[in-house]
Amino acid sequence: MSIFTKIITGEIPSYKVAENADFIAFLDINPNAKGHTLVVPKKEENKIFDLSKEDYTSLMDFSYQVAKAIEKTLPCKRIGMSVIGLEVPHVHVHLIPLNAMGDIQFMQKVALSKCEFVTLAEEISKNF
């Protein structure tokens, strides 16, 4: 069972920003930038291009809505999107508010307090 499935079942906590029957979005615990969010299918699958075309399209639709909510919450040049999965083998889309190239490069990290995570998740969630 992946760490993201444990988040989906509530076994471990997360800062949730959006959810429907098939997908969940929560803040990345080690964000590249403030607002870095992961969009995850509830059905555990390792690689994004192993999803059915229908599930892939639904994931992109949900990610689109989450990206709009992030952009409304956090002024930035644009929302960047990345799919990696080398650390957690459960499909997830990274949505990252971008102001500079470094924000999408997974080397710089920002530290947020628990209180900042909670507030941010609430704000994005309200705009979803």
Residues lying near ligand 5GP in the complex (CB under 6 A) are found at 3, 14, 26-30, 38, 84-88
Rank residues 73 and 94 by Cβ distance to ligand 5GP and give the closer one.
94
| DSSP summary character for residue 78 | E
Which residues touch 57 (CB under 8 Å, ≥6 apart)?
none
Residue 19 φ/ψ, nearest 5 degrees: -160, 145
As measured in angstroms, the least distance from the Cβ of 84 to ligand 5GP is 3
Which residues touch 38 (CB under 8 Å, ≥6 apart)?
4, 25, 26, 27, 28, 92, 93, 94, 95
As measured in angstroms, the least distance from the Cβ of 87 to ligand 5GP is 3
As measured in angstroms, the least distance from the Cβ of 17 to ligand 5GP is 11
As annotated, the active-site residues are 92
